[in-house]
Structures are given as C-alpha cells and as structure tokens.
C-alpha cells in the first residue's frame, strides 16, 4: 500500500517532499517505491513512520519513526473500559500518553 500511495501522491503532487505514514509498514512501502523511482531519501523525499517496529532501524535508509508506549496505552484503555462498565461513566475522555521521535536516516 505504501508503494501505491507514494506513486499516486507523486503523480498528483510531484513537488511533495515529505511523507508521514500512520504505520512503519506503510513507510517501508514508501521507501521501496522511492528506491524504485531513484528518489534520494532524505534529500528529495523525507519519510517518517509510526510505531518503531523492529525492522525500522534496518531499512535503507533507516526509518525515522514515532515510538509510542503500546503497553501503557493498552493498560489505560483496559482501566477506562473497566471504569465505564463498573460506574457507567469514564472520567477521563483524553489521556496524553506522549511519544518519542526516533531520528534515523529517512528524515
């Protein structure tokens, strides 16, 4: 999907110079399409993923990505669900769990 998405974006907006992908696997496809098109990453096109998956540091160039604490998110979601079931409401509508930008070679 990342390859097809980049191809479509470049066809419609050839001046695009950066892409933020909602998942590292999508960013991997973007990197693959950029390589096929011989686009310099990060010179011509910057690519950022999301999730800091195990492969992110092993791509070429290594994928810049956003790291989140999935375990913390899961625990918070479970506690909010339990609160909703037990009380009928949940006091916390939003919780900022933060993130970390992992700077690597793609951006």
Q: How far, in Å, CA of 73 to CA of 95, rounded?
A: 9
pLDDT band at 90 (very low <50, low <70, confident <90, very high): confident
Domain ranges of the chain: 2-68
pLDDT tens figures, 24-82: 999 999 999 999 999 999 999 999 999 999 999 999 999 999 999 999 999 999 999 99
How many other β-carbons are positioned within 10 Å of the β-carbon of residue 97?
A: 10
Q: How far, in Å, CA of 32 to CA of 45, rounded?
A: 12
Q: What is the CATH number of domain 2-68?
A: 3.40.50.2300
How many contiguous H segments (helices) and E segments (strands) does the chain have?
3, 4
Can you give the pTM of this predicted structure? 0.84
Length in residues, the chain: 107
- Exposure string (b/e) for 52-63, b if CB count within 10 Å is 16 or more? bbeebeebebbb
């Amino acid at each position: 999907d990342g390859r097809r998405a980049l191809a479509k974006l470049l066809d419609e907006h050839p001046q695009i110079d950066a892409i933020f992908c909602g998942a590292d696997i999508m960013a991997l496809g973007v990197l693959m399409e950029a390589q096929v098109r011989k686009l310099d990453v990060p010179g011509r096109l910057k690519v950022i993923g999301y999730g800091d998956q195990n492969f992110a540091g092993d791509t070429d160039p290594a994928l810049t990505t956003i790291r989140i604490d999935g375990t913390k998110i899961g625990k918070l979601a479970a506690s909010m669900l339990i609160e909703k079931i037990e009380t009928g409401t949940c006091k916390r509508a939003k919780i900022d769990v933060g993130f970390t930008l992992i700077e690597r070679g793609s951006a």
